[in-house]
């Protein structure tokens, strides 16, 4: 035992040192594993979107879209004393700016996961184009956000979040808003837009100026499917057969009518025009924050993400 030599470690000190080193290694391992697991889920989603986008249109449904909705509680105390979610990911913020950054980063991750509007991961799957929403995050605000970040207020003005997105750098090249909308904004244009917090009233999508801190919100993006050429050809053939059969039954074989391909003007599937961004051949809704009860207002009946 090394008790008497000056500068030497005692057995007890050695044991304590070993315990500290092992504890430190375990903590590092848990932190690394937790971070890796989170990043891998987002990477897996992004990879599946890329793979679907690279597949032939006729085979696109064979390639699975492996994207999960993440459940998030934003808190000012590192705890989530809220029964609405079981075992959510907790994002801790201590200032109002950190709060906006947490939302902005979730929106940016959502945009990246689903190809930044540049990848068609749906293909020609409908007779008329229809919006398919992907819910990246389901978010609740722990009561400490109201108490500590917003001085007891039950909501906050959406303009504050919008201003953050328009003026805060996402990277050294662009702000968050420029990343989402793929364009530069002049000072005159930095006045907010409808891409955040749409809601419905009497069947119409309107602008909501407040974010309710006691409500559940989604961060989502959406992509319009393209009309299926093959589907309309088959409809045309089927229609021709039916019309021909009716004609023959009515007028005899001497008056066969040739039915052409049925033409239909494909609308936006009900998607709100003000939310749509056209990137290449794709019509997309950039990432937005929306009250969970208002998802139907942008016709997101079709969900392309795992719960």
Query: What does the mean pLDDT of the chain come to?
Result: 74
DSSP state string for 127-164: SS--EEEEEEEEEEE-HHIIIIISTT-SEEEHHHHHHH
Residue 220 pLDDT: 93
Residue 9 pLDDT: 65
d(CA 41, CA 55): 21
Kindly state the average pLDDT of the residues 137-164: 94
Confidence of residue 179 (pLDDT cuts 50, 70, 90): very high
Kindly state the average pLDDT of the residues 27-40: 53
Is the model's pLDDT at 292 over the cut of 90?
no
Do the domain assignments include residue 112? yes
User: What range does the domain containing 162 cover?
Assistant: 13-227+266-303
Query: What percent of the chain is predicted at pLDDT more than 90?
Result: 35
Residue 282 pLDDT: 86
Residue 204 pLDDT: 56
Positions of E strands within the chain: 70-75, 89-92, 131-141, 155-157, 198-201, 204-207, 210-212, 217-224, 277-279, 282-291, 302-303
Higher local confidence (pLDDT), 31 or 41: 41
Do the domain assignments include residue 198? yes
Give Cβ neighbours of residue 27 (< 8 Å, ≥ 6 apart).
none
Give the other-Cβ count within 10 Å of 146's Cβ: 18
Q: How many domains does the chain have?
A: 1
Do the domain assignments include residue 90? yes
Residue 180 pLDDT: 93
Residue 267 pLDDT: 26
Q: Which of 23-32, 155-164, 175-184 has the lowest mean pLDDT?
A: 23-32
Is the model's pLDDT at 11 over the cut of 90?
no
Q: What is the pTM of this model?
A: 0.70
Is the model's pLDDT at 61 over the cut of 90?
no
Do the domain assignments include residue 279? yes
- Identify the CA nearest to 161 among candidates 103, 105, 120: 103
Please write the tens of the pLDDT for every residue from 74-131. Answer: 999 989 988 889 889 999 999 999 999 999 999 999 999 999 999 998 877 665 777 7
Do the domain assignments include residue 280? yes
d(CA 166, CA 178): 7
Give the other-Cβ count within 10 Å of 66's Cβ: 16
Q: Which of 30-34, 57-61, 141-145, 269-273 has the lowest mean pLDDT?
A: 269-273
β-bridge partners, 75: 92
Do the domain assignments include residue 168? yes
For the record, the structure tokens of 97 come out as: 């700016």
Q: Are strands 282-291 and 277-279 parallel, antiparallel or unpaired?
A: antiparallel
Do the domain assignments include residue 5? no
Give Cβ neighbours of residue 250 (< 8 Å, ≥ 6 apart).
none
Do the domain assignments include residue 247? no
Please write the tens of the pLDDT for every residue from 197-247. Answer: 555 555 555 556 789 999 999 999 999 888 754 433 333 333 333 433 333
Residue 57 pLDDT: 64
């Amino acid at each position: 035992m090394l008790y008497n030599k000056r500068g030497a470690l005692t057995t007890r000190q050695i044991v304590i040192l070993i315990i500290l080193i092992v504890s430190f290694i375990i903590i590092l391992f848990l932190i690394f594993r937790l971070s890796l697991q989170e990043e891998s889920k987002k990477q897996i989603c992004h990879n599946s979107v890329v793979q679907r986008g690279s597949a032939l249109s006729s085979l696109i449904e064979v390639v699975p879209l492996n994207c999960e909705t993440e459940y998030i509680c934003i808190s000012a105390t590192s705890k989530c004393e809220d029964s609405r979610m079981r075992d959510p990911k907790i994002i801790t913020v201590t200032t109002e700016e950190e709060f906006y950054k947490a939302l902005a980063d979730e929106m940016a991750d959502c945009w990246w996961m689903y190809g930044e509007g540049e990848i068609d991961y749906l293909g020609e799957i409908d007779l008329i184009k229809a919006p398919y929403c992907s819910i990246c995050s389901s978010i609740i605000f722990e009561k400490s956000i109201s108490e500590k970040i917003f001085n007891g207020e039950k909501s906050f003005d959406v303009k504050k979040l919008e201003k953050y997105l328009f003026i805060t750098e996402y990277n050294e090249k662009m702000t968050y808003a420029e990343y989402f909308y793929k364009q530069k904004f002049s000072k005159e244009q930095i006045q907010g837009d409808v891409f955040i917090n749409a809601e419905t009233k009497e069947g119409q999508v309107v602008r909501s100026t407040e974010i309710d801190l006691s409500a559940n919100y989604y961060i989502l993006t959406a992509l319009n499917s393209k009309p299926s050429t093959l589907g309309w050809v088959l409809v045309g053939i089927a229609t021709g057969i039916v019309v021909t059969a009716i004609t023959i039954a009515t007028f005899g074989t001497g008056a066969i009518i040739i039915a052409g391909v049925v033409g239909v003007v494909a609308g936006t599937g009900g998607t709100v025009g003000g939310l749509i961004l056209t990137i290449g051949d794709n019509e997309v809704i950039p990432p937005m924050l929306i009250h969970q009860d208002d998802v139907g207002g942008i016709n997101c009946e079709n969900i392309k993400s795992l719960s």
